A and B are shown apart, each in its own frame.
Chain A
């Protein structure tokens, strides 16, 4: 089964609204990362949050991590049409260097 599972699988919002997506995982992790993928392209790293961090910001992105619940959330504030993409969470286990990806959340931002 997937180490990371995103929720929801798909999200449709209007430009200017906030988009929130969640990720759950099963085992202890070293860090959790979020990536974006535009249709038919490679993935782009967005943000990394370590297991001893609870919240991290990068521009319009806010990531939280709750290790007691084994979950993370990604918030995109004031969304733009260019934010339309699939978003994936990925985890690295405590003693590893391999990323395990979830199934992704497809976000559509309507202008």
Chain B
């Protein structure tokens, strides 16, 4: 069976500090990978998605970047955090076929102070 891991679970970082959130998937190969951000009480905003190693699509201009150094590893980064980067970050994966459901990790709660 497949599992998805995210860490850390919670993070408190000062404004201007760097960020690295990691997501890994086990039990499948060549997944599509996604990073979402969720503001409090709101829906999910797609930030990045990847269909393969080194292939990253950015959905919205922002202070964040993503990388996929290995097939089942997806990293969300920032060089300098802003207050507006606070939120709940969710990683998800789906099978390579189009139109299938996505499977979400437990999320990382980021607070920028």
Point out residues on A near B: beta carbons under 8 Å.
Answer: 2, 4, 30-31, 33, 35, 40-45, 48, 88, 92, 96-104, 106
Contacts and interface: CB of A to CB of B under 8 A. Distances in A.
B106 to A, nearest CB: 5
Nearest to A9: B41
Contacts of B45: 101
A99 B46 contact: yes
A97 B51 CA distance: 10
B103 A103 contact: no
Given A33-B101, A97-B99, A40 B43 contact: no
Interface string B90-109: 10101000111111111101
B86 interface: no
A45 B2 CA distance: 14
B43 A45 contact: no
Interface in B55-83: 59
Which residue, B98, B106, B107, B109, has most C-beta atoms of chain A within 10 A?
Answer: B98
Contacts of B36: 101
Nearest to A4: B43
A30 B42 contact: no
Contact of B104 (A31, A40, A44): A44
Which residue, B46, B90, B99, has most C-beta atoms of chain A within 10 A?
Answer: B99
A88 B42 CA distance: 10
B101 A48 contact: yes
A30 B99 contact: yes
A45 to B, nearest CB: 4
A41 B99 contact: no
Given A2-B43, A103-B42, A104-B43, A92 B106 contact: no
Nearest to A34: B101
